[in-house]
Structure 1
């Protein structure tokens, strides 16, 4: 096939489909602008080739091979899935195709691909935040809990038995040492199976520990189950901080109305990596964060989602790498260009020259909380220690 090709692996079907929606939307929105690309004084035809991972790692690997061999993709983009994302990036590494990914803490990105969080790669690049960054922004929230301000909080840990839970409880790097360095006592009753069944043992253990705060990375359904059982046992936490699925509104990732009703009063706090209030613009056309969020809401009739900004930045990064490479048809040249990339995007400044490893660009985090409203849950910014340019929109409120 002639011209340049950006390949994309996105979950359009299966369990992860809600997480793939932002990237699917951005691709549709930007497609008319990405029919040609100018690089080194030459104009190249450009096309986007999309494959559905079906929320399955094996299917994702096959999708990469098809993009690499049949579509002759010059670069591959992906996001979402603790098993699917590593499958895509590993396949790109094996096949020698430049790849950019996001929505995965950088330690997990490295650990899931060979057990070394700081492992270096030749072909694959990632932008996100670290588990330690999550711990720091959550600690900001714990320390602002009304009536319990300050350090030395007892925090209960509701972590699963999968990759995310194993990494969160790792003593050597990431979340645990960062939280303890802030003076907090973490109580971990051990891993629960995901999806969760009866969580009585975890409720009992955290109640006995006197933990007014619970931190987790659970799905909306599992967190609602815990909250319902804790409430029934008289052990309702005053604050829940949750990453991963709860960076999305629970109405977007769980169909069960009981889950929505249960979490509405929980006022779950989470990390915020992108919002309409972030003061960034697209490197492609100057679109602001507020404009992108507004366009999504107008087009879909649904609330904006945090990964919209990351999805848009993925496409911006691919466009930049192909435009700036000495030869955009040479995959090695494109990969080398990614390693030197410093680009201001709608998700913020991405700098792959600054580390913490050669393949990682870091994004700072704010702290947010889901508040109930007439149109469903809305994400308010409640702490901006690391992102002072992002305005705080509400106070942190304990569970109702």
Structure 2
């Protein structure tokens, strides 16, 4: 694709001169602001270390698709961003990717199951992604169900009527076919509940009628808490409860969701115990988590490792591209990337589909902690070499 003179000037580095600009779409306001915290932190952490190699420039997505598209335009047109990075949600991340496709600027993203990213969008020439898959979540959760209750369980599926539920039950690319392939029977009161839920009485009744002794979910903390209270009222006592999505995060103090996480099992994609180091300076996962807690006074979050890896890959692409001023060359450099990062090994040459690198999952559970009120304990490490098990799988607590 031939670029006009104005496009070439815009892509040459922006008003700050020749130092390449890496644009970052980061949620600083709105409902995804918590997800933006680790990305904002690693920007501040790495900016001095990368001075002279690249310049990190952020724009607030405002946690909306329109805000994300506006942020991309500002980064590309006003700042001359050569690569755009983001960690985002169901509506924001596709908006960033689509805006980068329209602008012809390489984009790198994470924290979004790769099937949703790949099959849920249009043709992708300029955008790249790394994450686990819906099938990986199903495999991880099925291993936990089997450890707690045995093989071939009847599993109640607490899925909403939105994108999370739709993709979870997708017949080809979703969670459901991978779980059924392990011999589990899924009870899914379709089309799912409207979020935020007003009641979970029908879902609990359906699970009880089917004899479900395992429940899996992608609910928010508030909706999961509502379900657990209704389950207790109706006498449904699952032997294990698994939840992805927001349960990858510790409950925020005072947000009312603490009771919803008690002994809930979830996916584990990054912890201080993971045996990974930064490709930039050798910082370990443990050192990164400790630095975050000391600097912010808050508990480390799983996206911290992925946020750091976004910037590692961007720096690697700029350093290895034959012509770092060319978007085609930068896209080719990402496509050829095989890099050991603080989030683990990332390999775009061996992805399940073009433009995708995968992240390996472990199984964990939120249990009462010593340093923090709730701590993510690794209970299944079979797929992550060098990751220690830090606790045993416990039955869910009564709400």
TM over 0.5: yes
Q: Tell me the equivalent position of 1:155.
A: 155
- Residue 68 (str. 1) matches residue 51 (str. 2): no
- Residue 377 (str. 1) matches residue 374 (str. 2): yes
TM-score, scaled relative to structure 2: 0.93
Q: Tell me the equivalent position of 1:224.
A: 225
- Residue 14 (str. 1) matches residue 13 (str. 2): no
After superposition, where does 1:124-143 map in structure 2 within 5 Å? 124-143=127-146
Deviation, 1:237, is 2.3
- Residue 88 (str. 1) matches residue 104 (str. 2): no
Counterpart-to-counterpart distance in 2, 1:189 and 1:300: 42
Deviation, 1:231, is 1.1
- Residue 395 (str. 1) matches residue 392 (str. 2): yes
Deviation, 1:50, is 0.4
Does the CA-based 8 Å contact 2:108-2:129 persist in structure 1? yes
Counterpart-to-counterpart distance in 2, 1:111 and 1:159: 20
Distance 1:264 1:274, change over 3 A: closer
Counterpart-to-counterpart distance in 2, 1:61 and 1:112: 18
Does the CA-based 8 Å contact 1:154-1:185 persist in structure 2? yes
Deviation, 1:256, is 2.8
Q: Tell me the equivalent position of 2:336.
A: 340
Does the CA-based 8 Å contact 2:27-2:61 persist in structure 1? yes
Q: What do residues 143-198 of structure 1 show as CA deviations (whole Å, max 9, x unaligned)?
A: 110xx2x3111110000111111010011223111111111111001211111111
Q: Tell me the equivalent position of 2:172.
A: 172
- For structure 2, the 5+ residue unaligned runs are 1-14
Deviation, 1:264, is 4.7
Counterpart-to-counterpart distance in 2, 1:331 and 1:357: 21
Counterpart-to-counterpart distance in 2, 1:57 and 1:204: 36
Q: What do residues 178-220 of structure 1 show as CA deviations (whole Å, max 9, x unaligned)?
A: 1111111110012111111111111111111111111111111
- Residue 102 (str. 1) matches residue 103 (str. 2): no
Q: Tell me the equivalent position of 2:202.
A: 201
- Residue 322 (str. 1) matches residue 318 (str. 2): yes
Indicate the structure whose relative CO is greater, using CA pairs within 8 Å and at least 6 residues apart. 1
**Match 2:124 to one of 107, 118, 121:** 121
Deviation, 1:303, is 1.3
Q: Tell me the equivalent position of 1:41.
A: none
Q: Tell me the equivalent position of 2:40.
A: 24
Counterpart-to-counterpart distance in 1, 2:26 and 2:97: 13
Query: RMSD value over aligned CA atoms?
Result: 1.2
**Alignment partner of 1:36: what SS?**
coil
Q: Tell me the equivalent position of 2:303.
A: 307
Counterpart-to-counterpart distance in 2, 1:172 and 1:350: 25
Q: Tell me the equivalent position of 1:358.
A: 354
Size of the aligned set, in residue pairs, is: 379
Does the CA-based 8 Å contact 1:350-1:363 persist in structure 2? yes
Deviation, 1:386, is 1.1
Does the CA-based 8 Å contact 1:283-1:346 persist in structure 2? yes
Does the CA-based 8 Å contact 1:281-1:345 persist in structure 2? yes
Does the CA-based 8 Å contact 1:157-1:216 persist in structure 2? yes
Q: What do residues 65-113 of structure 1 show as CA deviations (whole Å, max 9, x unaligned)?
A: 1111111101000012100000001100111010100000000112331
Does the CA-based 8 Å contact 1:264-1:372 persist in structure 2? no
